[in-house]
Amino acid sequence: MSEPAPPVAELTLRRRLPPRLPRRRGDVYVNMKTDFKAQLSRCQKLLGPGGGCTEICIHGLGLAINRAINIALQLQAGGAGALRLAANTSTVELADVLEAQSDEDGHPPLARARNNSAIHIRVCRVSPPP
């Protein structure tokens, strides 16, 4: 989404963090800042022996959707058929805050909602085929 043109009075736009659900052990939120390899190995560790998770959930939002898919596919490729993927998409409502810089214009809504796409990929281990 493009940056909004500032109205007559000056406003500062600040983005808030997306809302998230309480985090379980197996939840992995993928971002663009952390190294790809690190995120991948984190997922592998969670799924691997001693990781303690039979299934993990990889969440990616916006730009990170690609990376989330990439991680899931890499996991599957490395898992030798023992992993199954189930992808879900959703829309996440994000809030952008407009901060007034002066005293007069306090009345525009303090925050605006904006939608962004997200993906949630469940990666679970299937029992090895007999």
Residues lying near another protein in the complex (CB under 8 A): 6, 12, 14-17, 19-22, 33, 93, 95, 97, 99-107, 109-113
Q: Are 83 and 75 in contact (CB under 8 A)?
A: yes
Spatial separation of the C-alpha atoms in residues 76 and 85, rounded to whole Å: 8
* Cβ at position 36, least distance to another protein in Å: 15
Classify burial at 60, counting beta carbons within 10 Å of its beta carbon; exposed 0-12, middle 13-18, buried 19 or more.
buried
Give min distance, CB of 93 to another protein, in A.
7
CB nearer to another protein: pick between 41 and 90:
90
Cβ-based nearer residue to another protein, 45 or 114: 114
Structure-token pair, residue 102: 């002066």
Instruction: Tell the smallest beta-carbon distance from residue 118 to another protein (Å).
Output: 13
- State in angstroms the smallest separation of the CB of 126 from another protein: 26
Q: Which is nearer to another protein, 17 or 80 (CB)?
A: 17
Residue closer to another protein, measured from CB, 49 or 104: 104
For residue 73, give the 3-state DSSP assignment: helix
Q: Is 121 helix (H, G, I), strand (E, B) or coil?
A: strand
DSSP 7: -
Residue with tokens 């406003």: 11
